C-alpha cells in the first residue's frame, strides 16, 4: 500500500508534464480570435482567398520563383532576470543557424535531407544587422525584466492565466517594428514552472494574419540549448508562416474533426499531411501501422515538425506551399526589409517632414479593403494589404521613414522622360477612389498643382485579382526640386469619399513614398521587358540574359556606391560577383541608352 502511494506521487507530476501541451499556439491563437472576432474574419478571408486561388499562380504573381529563399530579419529579445544573461550571443547564433539548417534540410543526423524525403522551406532567419535607427546591431537584445517586474524571476511569462508577467508587458520593454523584423522573445519560464524543468510548454507563436501588435513568438530559454531537439523554433516560426498542427482539434485519445470539405479545409488545411491524434507522449507508429484518423495511413506525419512527436524530422511540399503563400499574403514586407543587412556608411537622406499626418479612420474596424493593394512607380513596386482588421484599419503608412530599412519604397523619376506613369490597384469588393501628389517644390505640403492622380475611380477587385489602372502624369519642367528625395502621397478611399491629402478618410488608407526627380534621361525604368537576372540570390555567378544588346553593367551597394562596373557589347552576360560581401546590391544594366536597375542578393 505504501509502495503504491509512493508510485502515485511520483507518477502524478510526470503525467502532468506529459499531458501539458508542448506548444501554446492553438490556445493563444484561439484566445486572440475569440477576443478579436474581426481579426478572425480577416484571417478567414485570407484562407478563403487562398482556397479560391491557384497557389502557384499567386506565387508567380508575387515573383516567388521556385528557388527563391526569403531572408527574414529577426530580433531576439532575451528577457532575463537581471542576474545573468539568459543565453549567450553564441548560443543564440547557433540556435538560429540550426533552425535554418532544418529549413534547408542540412541539419544532418536523423533529420531528412531533400533527397531522403525532406522538403526545403524557403525561409532563412537572419539576425538583424541594422536596428530601427539604422545603426549596427547583432540582433540580440538583453533585457532585464525583473528590474521592472520583480515577480518575473520565479514566475516568468504568464501564458495560462497564472501569475507572472504578461506578453504585453514584455513587449512594452522591447519590440522592433514587426513590419521590418520578426520578434522572438526568449523567456526564463512560463507560468511559474520551475526554471530547471525543461518539459511542459515550450513556446507559442501567432499566424501571419495576426495584427502587428501580437505577431511574433515566445519561447522558453531551455529550448535554445537543447542540442538533441532543434525543433521548437522551426515549429513556432512554422505557425508564423501560417502552418497549423496536423492534429488540430484532436487530442491524444481522439482524432481531429473532419468535414465533407476535405483536406484543404480540415485540420491544418494541408493535403499531404494525414490527420492524426496528438502524439504527445505516445510511442512512434511506423508507416505500415494503421492510422485510426486517416485511411491513407501515417505517410510520415508522425515525423512532421508541426506534429507533437519525439521525432520531428521534416516538412512536406504542401506545408511549404501553404507557408509561403500565407506568409506572402500577409507579411511580404518582412521579405523586403533591409534589417538583416549591415548598415551602409552613409545615412539615407531623409524626406522633408510632412506638414500634415492623416487622422485615424473614424469607422468601426472591419474588412473594408479600401486603399492601395499595389503602388507601382519607377522601381517602387509595393503590394500591401488594403484597410482591414488584420492591420487594425491603420490609415497612414509613412514608407519614407523606412527608407533605410527597405529600398522598395523609393524611386528615381526622369523629368525628360515625361509622361510618367503610376499603377494603382484596388482589391476591395467595392470600387475605390484614388489620388496622388508629389511635393515637387519640397515645402512639406501638397497643393493642387502637385496632383498626379486626381480622384480616379478603380473598379471592383478581389484579393486574388486586384483591379489595376495605370495613370499618366507630367512632371513640370520648372519649379521642381531635383536630385533630393521628395514626398509622394497616395490616398485611396471609398468611391463616395472625397480624397484630400490630409483629410479624414472614411475607410481607406494613405501611403507616402520617396521620389527623386532626375533631369538626366539615363536612369529610366521604363523597359517593357527587363533583363533576366539569375540565380537570385546568388553565391557568386550571375547570369544576365536580355533580348537587347547590353553595353554596361554596374553593381551598386545599398549606400549607392558603385562596386563593380563593366562594359559589354552583347546580350548574354556571365558576371562574377564572388568578391562582393554577402548583402543586397542593385545591378544597373545599360542597354541602347536606357537603364534598368534590379535588386540582387549576394549570399
- Exposure letters 547-560 (e unless 16+ CB within 10 A, then b): eeebeebbbbbbee
Nearest residue relative to Zn ion (C-beta): 23
In the complex, the smallest distance separating the C-beta of residue 498 from Zn ion, rounded to whole angstroms, is 47
Residue 209 cell numbers, joined: 494574419
Give 107 or 308: the residue with its C-beta nearer to Zn ion: 308
Contacts with 335 (C-beta within 8 Å, 6 or more apart), sequence order: 70, 71, 72, 328
User: How many Å separate Cα 28 from the centre of its chain?
Assistant: 20
Comparing CB distances to Zn ion, the nearer of 245 and 602 is 245
Q: Interaction with Zn ion in 464-503: which residues (CB under 5 A)?
A: none
3-state secondary structure of 239: helix
> Which helix (DSSP H) or strand (DSSP E) does residue 57 occupy?
helix 55-61
CB 253 within 8 A of CB 245: no
How far apart are CB 543 and Zn ion at their closest, in Å? Answer: 41
Distance CA 293, CA 522 (A): 64
C-beta closer to Zn ion: residue 176 or 206: 206
- For residue 305, state whether it binds Zn ion (rule: CB under 5 A): no
Which grid cell is 269? 488545411
Choices 18-26, 349-357, 502-510, 563-571; region in contact with Zn ion by CB under 5 A: 18-26
Minimum CB separation of residue 202 from Zn ion in Å reads 9
- The CB-of-23 to Zn ion minimum distance in angstroms stands at 3
List Cα–Cα distances, 188 to 158, 219, 261, 446, in angstroms.
11, 9, 42, 51
| Rounded least distance, CB 334 to Zn ion, Å | 20
| DSSP bridge partners of 556 | 562, 586
Show the 3-state SS of 347-374.
Answer: CCCCCCCCCCCCCCCCCCCCCCCCCEEE
**Residue 25 vs 585, nearer CB to Zn ion:** 25
Minimum distance between the CB of residue 30 and Zn ion, rounded to whole angstroms?
12
Contacts of 166 (CB under 8 A, 6+ apart): 157, 158
Assign 186 to helix, strand or coil.
Answer: strand
Q: Compare residues 246 and 371 and give the one whose CB is closer to Zn ion.
A: 246
For Zn ion, the closer of residues 23 and 69 by Cβ is 23
Specify the stretch interacting with Zn ion by CB under 5 A; choose among 1-9, 17-25, 135-143, 560-568. Answer: 17-25
Q: How far is the CB of 108 from Zn ion (least distance, A)?
A: 24
Please say which residue, 306 or 361, places its beta carbon nearer to Zn ion. Answer: 306
The pairing of strands 217-220 and 182-187 is parallel
Coil, helix or strand for 84?
Answer: coil
**Which lies closer to Zn ion via its Cβ, residue 28 or residue 433?**
28
Q: Minimum CB separation from Zn ion for residue 332, in Å?
A: 23
Least Å distance between CB 235 and Zn ion? 5
Distance CA 40, CA 23 (A): 20
Of the pair 242, 461, the CB lying nearest Zn ion is at 242
Is there a contact between 590 and 551 (Cβ–Cβ < 8 Å)?
Answer: yes
Q: Return the ∠ at Cα 56 (arms to 54 and 61), rounded to 5°.
A: 95
Q: Which residues, listed in sequence order, are joined to residue 538 by a DSSP beta bridge?
A: 602
Among the listed ranges 15-23, 187-195, 253-261, 558-566, the one in contact with Zn ion (CB under 5 A) is 15-23
Q: Which is nearer to Zn ion, 23 or 326 (CB)?
A: 23
Q: Is 335 helix (H, G, I), strand (E, B) or coil?
A: helix
Size of the site for Zn ion (CB under 5 A): 2
Interface with Zn ion in residues 358-387 (CB under 5 A): none
- Comparing CA positions, the residue from 513, 518, 423 lying closest to residue 480 is 518
For cell 547570369, what's the residue?
543
Nearer to Zn ion, 238 or 466 (CB): 238
**Grid cell of 52 as nine digits:** 479560391
CB 115, min distance to Zn ion, A: 27
* Comparison of 189 and 202: residue with beta carbon closer to Zn ion: 202
The least distance separating Zn ion from the CB of residue 361, rounded to whole angstroms, comes to 34
Shortest distance, CB of residue 239 to Zn ion, whole angstroms?
6
- C-alpha 158/C-alpha 460 separation (Å) is 45
Q: CB-based burial of residue 563 (10 Å sphere; 0-12 exposed, 13-18 middle, 19+ buried)?
A: middle
Stretch that binds Zn ion, among 16-24, 110-118, 167-175, 529-537 (CB under 5 A): 16-24
**Of 19-58, which residues contact Zn ion (CB under 5 A)?**
23, 25
The residues of the shown chain that bind Zn ion, judged by CB under 5 A, are: 23, 25
Amino acid at each position: 500500500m505504501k509502495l503504491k502511494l509512493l508510485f502515485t506521487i511520483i507518477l502524478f507530476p510526470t503525467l502532468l508534464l506529459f499531458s501539458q501541451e508542448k506548444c501554446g499556439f492553438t490556445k493563444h491563437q484561439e484566445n486572440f480570435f475569440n477576443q478579436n472576432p474581426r481579426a478572425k474574419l480577416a484571417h478567414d478571408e485570407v484562407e478563403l482567398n487562398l482556397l479560391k486561388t491557384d497557389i502557384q499562380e499567386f506565387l508567380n504573381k508575387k515573383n516567388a520563383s521556385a528557388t527563391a529563399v526569403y531572408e527574414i530579419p529577426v530580433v531576439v529579445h532575451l528577457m532575463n532576470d537581471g542576474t545573468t544573461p539568459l543565453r549567450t550571443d553564441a548560443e543564440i547564433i547557433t540556435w538560429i543557424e540550426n533552425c535554418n539548417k532544418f529549413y534547408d534540410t542540412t541539419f544532418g543526423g536523423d533529420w531528412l535531407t531533400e533527397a531522403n524525403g525532406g522538403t526545403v522551406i524557403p525561409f532563412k532567419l537572419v539576425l538583424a544587422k541594422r536596428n530601427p535607427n539604422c545603426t549596427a546591431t547583432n540582433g540580440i537584445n538583453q533585457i532585464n525584466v525583473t528590474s521592472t517586474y520583480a515577480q518575473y524571476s520565479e514566475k516568468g511569462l504568464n501564458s495560462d492565466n497564472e501569475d507572472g508577467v504578461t506578453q504585453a508587458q514584455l513587449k512594452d520593454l522591447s519590440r522592433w517594428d514587426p513590419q521590418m523584423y520578426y520578434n522572438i522573445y526568449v523567456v526564463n519560464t512560463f507560468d511559474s514552472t520551475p526554471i530547471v524543468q525543461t518539459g511542459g510548454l515550450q513556446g507559442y507563436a501567432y499566424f501571419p494574419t495576426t495584427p502587428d501588435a501580437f505577431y511574433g513568438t515566445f519561447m522558453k530559454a531551455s529550448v535554445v540549448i537543447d542540442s538533441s531537439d532543434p525543433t521548437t523554433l522551426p515549429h513556432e516560426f512554422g505557425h508564423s508562416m501560417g502552418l497549423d498542427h496536423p492534429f488540430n482539434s484532436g487530442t491524444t485519445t481522439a482524432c481531429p474533426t473532419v468535414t465533407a470539405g476535405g483536406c484543404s479545409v480540415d485540420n491544418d488545411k494541408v493535403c499531404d499531411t494525414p490527420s492524426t491524434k496528438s502524439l504527445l507522449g505516445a510511442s512512434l507508429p511506423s508507416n505500415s501501422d494503421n492510422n485510426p484518423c486517416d485511411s491513407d495511413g501515417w505517410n510520415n506525419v508522425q515525423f512532421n515538425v508541426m506534429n507533437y512527436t519525439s521525432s520531428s524530422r521534416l516538412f512536406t511540399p504542401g506545408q511549404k506551399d501553404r507557408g509561403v503563400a500565407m506568409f506572402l499574403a500577409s507579411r511580404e514586407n518582412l521579405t523586403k526589409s533591409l534589417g538583416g543587412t549591415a548598415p551602409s556608411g552613409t545615412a539615407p537622406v531623409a524626406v522633408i517632414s510632412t506638414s500634415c499626418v492623416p487622422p485615424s479612420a473614424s469607422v468601426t474596424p472591419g474588412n473594408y479593403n479600401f486603399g492601395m493593394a499595389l503602388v507601382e512607380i519607377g522601381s517602387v513596386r509595393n503590394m500591401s494589404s488594403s484597410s482591414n482588421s488584420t492591420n487594425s484599419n491603420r490609415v497612414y503608412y509613412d514608407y519614407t521613414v523606412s527608407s533605410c530599412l527597405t529600398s522598395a519604397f523609393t524611386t528615381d523619376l526622369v523629368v525628360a522622360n515625361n509622361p510618367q506613369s503610376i499603377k494603382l490597384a484596388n482589391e476591395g469588393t467595392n470600387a475605390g477612389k484614388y489620388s496622388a501628389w508629389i511635393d515637387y517644390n519640397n515645402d512639406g505640403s501638397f497643393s493642387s498643382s502637385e496632383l498626379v492622380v486626381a480622384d480616379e475611380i478603380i473598379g471592383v477587385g478581389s484579393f486574388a485579382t486586384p483591379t489595376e489602372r495605370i495613370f499618366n502624369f507630367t512632371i513640370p519642367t520648372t519649379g521642381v526640386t531635383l536630385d533630393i528625395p521628395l514626398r509622394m502621397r497616395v490616398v485611396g478611399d471609398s468611391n463616395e469619399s472625397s480624397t484630400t491629402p490630409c483629410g479624414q478618410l472614411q475607410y481607406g488608407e494613405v501611403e507616402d513614398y520617396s521620389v527623386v526627380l532626375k533631369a538626366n534621361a539615363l536612369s529610366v525604368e521604363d523597359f517593357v521587358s527587363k533583363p533576366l537576372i539569375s540565380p537570385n540570390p546568388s553565391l557568386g555567378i550571375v547570369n544576365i540574359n536580355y533580348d537587347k544588346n547590353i553595353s554596361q553593367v554596374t553593381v551598386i551597394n545599398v549606400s549607392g556606391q558603385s562596386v563593380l562596373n563593366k562594359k559589354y557589347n552583347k546580350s548574354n552576360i556571365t558576371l562574377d560577383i564572388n568578391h562582393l560581401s554577402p548583402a543586397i546590391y542593385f545591378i544597373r544594366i545599360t542597354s541602347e541608352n536606357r537603364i534598368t536597375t534590379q535588386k540582387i542578393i549576394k549570399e
